[in-house]
Chains A and B, each alone.
Chain A
């Protein structure tokens, strides 16, 4: 892969890296025919972001020679702390950088980022990368009952009122208004907290759709990067969400780029314990009577408040056309299986859902294809995915016209 960005685009690219650095510690570079995708996911797998730059964004964009194995282009994973410093000072980039060339060199396992600056100065960075499966989330935003489209600065202006340390906020939507308020876990000293709430009439938004009244609570810190990006580029922000517990998707787009952040939301506070029933909203699937909620935290050392919080997701049917299922989910990175039916038949499995020691299960699913044999209690089938490794990019594009991959 080889691409060239000119002046202003370098700054936009850098801003995207900043936004992604708010999400996770690693940056996935995925050069595709339809553009270069930069993605990141947090360690708890409760936040995912993707910035897709179309070939038009670049002065020059080429995927390079097709390898013998097929149309696979190399997909790399870089450490955020290697990439972020290169774009740290955006004002100096704006001042000094005339062009930036990014290329992936397979023989040397390096991503080469070269800045051509004023006065003939050239800065070349050779970053080592890890080859990786693509990280990709599929989120059926068109199936979300609630939609908001906010003018560029609106959300940014709203969240400005919350302190930088504020972890989570709650967004509420009713047919009359939208409100944002800060969220504190019960048990905190109520005397010391400052509650902030602001409401907006739905007229403030460019577009709205109220499917269900809902209150969703999600992490604000991970969103700030995207809001800042939207503000800089004067892009309206679209929000797609549903009931509490389902993920919320924030996205911006223009002619040459699309950016998306998908965040898990807290389950309704009435629910208790790990074994919870979550509403499924998929219109066509049988409901899972008793669905397990698998704690995210058991796998990760630094799980945060989203422990035990599922992101209810829908699996997009594979090209074999298996039904859509909506088991309660946590976000997982799972390679697409050759046997989609293994994932696509939850009915029997769901009925006998039990909580499982998630750690071994989750970890074993990460970045490895699901085998058609399920493990002993069949929980492999029930574990839903938010992000999965998409092997057949082309198949996806033709079949998933309704379900954009991010």
Chain B
């Protein structure tokens, strides 16, 4: 593979080198969080975390562990930068993103450090493209202070049961209301739109409900415009965990299996809408 013929000497100048035989493992996950142009990349020896935020109320994180990459070399404890996510995705799909089986785009992502662009070497069918994307000073991602000890309600649902509900959500509703309770209706999604309201109820004993751990009845509303982008992550995932804490903050965690069967995670944190009780 042409990418591997680069001299080892080159590698020493990079603080981060990450290679994938199939760039789609990265691009698919990134598409699930591309609702804003800019993304914060944080790489640690554990892997890569990509963060996108919206209006200080919503944060999406995609985690791709080091084991997913064919090569993952990092020379510092934490490497961070910010790039235009739309441009990055365009580059990852530069060969047209064909779905012909057996043909995939190989990726070698290299970063020299602060001030340097992110360099992508992409190869498909013997053709190599080099892309250099300017990086910016990484912003500090918001800490939503969401910790497991504060979680009041948690459910894990099989994504297939939620996919339909999310795709049907009444978009004329400004909010999506989530009710979680140890008693009826257990888990309910509600919308309040122009033609009326709608409720989607998932009982605790449904076969789609893998885990049901609700300690108290909570109803929270979240801006529909913030949560609607999570539909993409839902579509990719096989399971989703929904948690709310005592403040009403929402955490959605999606388990995504890539083409090779490996597991990545996408999570969304969302603040409740101001008008709630």
Contact = CB atoms under 8 A, between A and B. Distances in A.
A91 B197 CA distance: 24
Interface string B203-226: 101111000000000000000000
Given A82-B195, A126-B197, A127-B196, A92 B203 contact: no
Contact of A121 (B168, B196, B198, B202): B202
A262 to B, nearest CB: 27
B196 A123 contact: no
B231 to A, nearest CB: 15
Interface string A229-264: 000000000000000000000000000000000000
B206 A124 contact: no
B201 A96 contact: no
A190 interface: no
Contacts of B195: 78-79, 81-82, 127-128
B198 A120 contact: no
Interface string A124-135: 111110000000
A97 B130 CA distance: 51
A126 B198 contact: yes
Nearest to B162: A121
A110 B196 contact: yes
B207 A119 contact: yes
A119 B197 contact: no
B36 interface: no
A120 B187 CA distance: 12
Interface residues of A, number: 19
Interface string B142-180: 000000000000000000010011001010000000000
B98 to A, nearest CB: 28
Given A92-B164, A119-B161, A119-B208, A125 B198 contact: yes
B208 A123 contact: no
B199 A120 contact: no
Contacts of B14: none
B185 to A, nearest CB: 8
B196 A126 contact: yes
A96 B206 contact: no
B265 interface: no
Contacts of B205: 120
Interface string A85-111: 100100010001000000000000010
A120 B202 contact: yes
B201 A122 contact: yes
Contacts of A92: 164
Nearest to A116: B201
B36 to A, nearest CB: 28
How many of chain B's residues touch chain A, expressed as a range? Answer: 10 to 19
Contacts of A125: 196-199
A30 to B, nearest CB: 19
A123 B165 CA distance: 9
Residue with the greatest number of chain B CB neighbours at <10 A, chosen from A85, A88, A125, A126:
A125
B95 interface: no
A90 to B, nearest CB: 13
B18 to A, nearest CB: 39
A88 B169 CA distance: 13
Nearest to A81: B195
A138 B190 CA distance: 42
Given A79-B195, A85-B168, A127-B195, A121 B200 contact: yes
A257 B54 CA distance: 51
B198 A119 contact: no
Contacts of A120: 202-203, 205-208
Contacts of A127: 195-196
B206 A123 contact: no
Contacts of B202: 120-121
Nearest to B194: A82
A262 B194 CA distance: 31
Contacts of B203: 120-122
Contacts of A110: 196
B164 to A, nearest CB: 6
Contacts of A123: 165, 198-201
Contacts of A78: 195
A43 to B, nearest CB: 19
Nearest to A112: B196
A362 B203 CA distance: 52
Contacts of A121: 161, 200-203, 206, 208
A257 to B, nearest CB: 26
A96 B208 CA distance: 13
Contacts of B197: 125-126
A394 B46 CA distance: 77
A129 to B, nearest CB: 9
A13 B212 CA distance: 35
Interface of B: 161, 164-165, 168, 170, 194-203, 205-208
Given A120-B203, A121-B203, A122-B200, 5 more contacts: A121-B208, A123-B198, A123-B199, A126-B198, A127-B195
List the 5 closest pairs (A to B, CB-CB), nearest first.
A82-B195, A120-B206, A127-B196, A122-B201, A120-B203
23 contacts: A81-B195, A82-B195, A82-B196, A120-B202, A120-B203, A120-B205, A120-B206, A121-B161, A121-B200, A121-B203, A122-B199, A122-B200, A122-B201, A122-B203, A123-B165, A123-B198, A123-B200, A123-B201, A124-B201, A125-B199, A126-B197, A126-B198, A127-B195
